[in-house]
Amino acid sequence: MQIYKEKQAIGDLIKTFKNDGLSIGFVPTMGALHEGHISLVKQALASSDRVVTSIFVNPTQFDNAGDLEKYPRTFETDLAQLERLDKNIIIFSPDPFDIYGNDISPEHFSFDGLEYEMEGKFRKGHFDGVGTVVKKLFEIVQPDKAFFGEKDFQQLQIIRKLTEKHNWPIQIIGCPIDRETNGLARSSRNERLSPEDRQKAAFIYETLQQVKKEFGTKSVLEVTENVKNEFGKNPDLKLEYFEIANEATLKSATKPLNGERYRAFIAAYSGDVRLIDNIALN
């Protein structure tokens, strides 16, 4: 297993790959790896000559210091999982200083409004932090392809926008949501749920499936009311938002248009654990 801690050292390795004409697949992560991350790495391995996975808990994308502190750090188990998958995976695990120097502050971006929808309303500055670190990581790793999960669909669209605006020759690949057997979208945060709460959180995906059935036969308003009512009756989960939104603009869809693609999005709390999920509707 090759583990790189310094951007200079991995930069030298990347140069040799480029000189040898090898393609680079990149899976950026914040560690606490689960099957969802592993499925991204598998897709990268299947379509690239070399695969780099970064493990870096990015301080600028957390809106409060407590969350950053609480974020699970499981470096040894992360390595063991990657090693089991393929010993040739290259790990990049820098210190914050190597990435940010003395100035741990995010760059400010315009993502043409994508950043103001859904998560943007509840996690101020989050996407500036994500954009900042992804830009820095892309500059170091110079991937041909980068892989992101559709669970964070808004993040995926924002990274596509970031890439397009900078004219980077990087293909951004969105990978399907990996789910636990009860349907709950895999997330590092699921580890913080009790087994009972983990079971109950399957309600989020069940609701999204019901929305998919109703979409097209009922109005968006009616579907939204149904979701709010169902959550209102559920004592175990607190709905933060439900949106049916256009996939490209992420704007709320009051009246879906022919030829456009839509998704339903949910953010909800189980205790103090915030869970998000989404489903393609057409």
Distance CA 206, CA 211 (A): 9
- The 8-class DSSP code of residue 158 comes to H
Verify whether residue 37 is a known catalytic residue.
yes
- Do the bridges between strand 24-29 and strand 145-149 make them parallel or antiparallel, or are there none, so unpaired? parallel
Residue closest to 210 by CA, chosen among 231, 185, 240, 194:
231
CB of 33 to ligand PAF, least distance (A): 10
Q: How many residues bind ligand PAF (CB under 6 A)?
A: 10
From the number of C-beta atoms within 10 Å of its C-beta (0-12, 13-18, 19+), residue 10 rates as buried
Q: Which CB, 133 or 227, lies closer to ligand PAF? A: 133
Residue 130 interacts with ligand PAF (CB under 6 A)? yes
Residue 30 interacts with ligand PAF (CB under 6 A)? yes
Residue 33 interacts with ligand PAF (CB under 6 A)? no
Residue 131 interacts with ligand PAF (CB under 6 A)? no
Q: Which H, E and C letters describe 113-153, residue by residue?
A: CHHHCCHHHHCCCHHHHHHHHHHHHHHHHCCCEEEEEHHHH
Among 133, 172, 184, 223, binds ligand PAF (CB under 6 A): 133
Q: Which CB, 129 or 279, lies closer to ligand PAF? A: 129
Residue 146 interacts with ligand PAF (CB under 6 A)? no
CB of 178 to ligand PAF, least distance (A): 13
Residue 227 interacts with ligand PAF (CB under 6 A)? no
Task: Could you list the beta-strand ranges (E) of 7-143.
Answer: 24-29, 50-55, 90-92
Residue 29 interacts with ligand PAF (CB under 6 A)? yes
Structure tokens at 279: 């489903």
Q: Integer distance in angstroms from the first to the last C-alpha of the chain?
A: 42
CB of 152 to ligand PAF, least distance (A): 5
Pick the stretch among 45-53, 129-137, 174-182, 227-235 that binds ligand PAF (CB under 6 A). 129-137
Residue 152 interacts with ligand PAF (CB under 6 A)? yes
Residue 58 interacts with ligand PAF (CB under 6 A)? yes
The secondary structure element, H or E, covering residue 168 is none
Q: Which CB, 11 or 59, lies closer to ligand PAF? A: 59
Query: Among the options 37, 108, 126, 166, which is catalytic?
Result: 37
DSSP 175-241: EPPPB-TTSPBP-GGGGGS-HHHHHHTTHHHHHHHHHHHHBTTB-HHHHHHHHHHHHHH-TT-EEEE
Mask for 60-79, x = binds ligand PAF (CB under 6 A): -x------------------
Pick the stretch among 126-134, 165-173, 209-217, 273-281 that binds ligand PAF (CB under 6 A). 126-134
Residues in the chain: 282
Residues labelled as active-site residues: 37
Chain residues binding ligand PAF by CB under 6 A are: 28-30, 58, 61, 130, 133-134, 152, 155
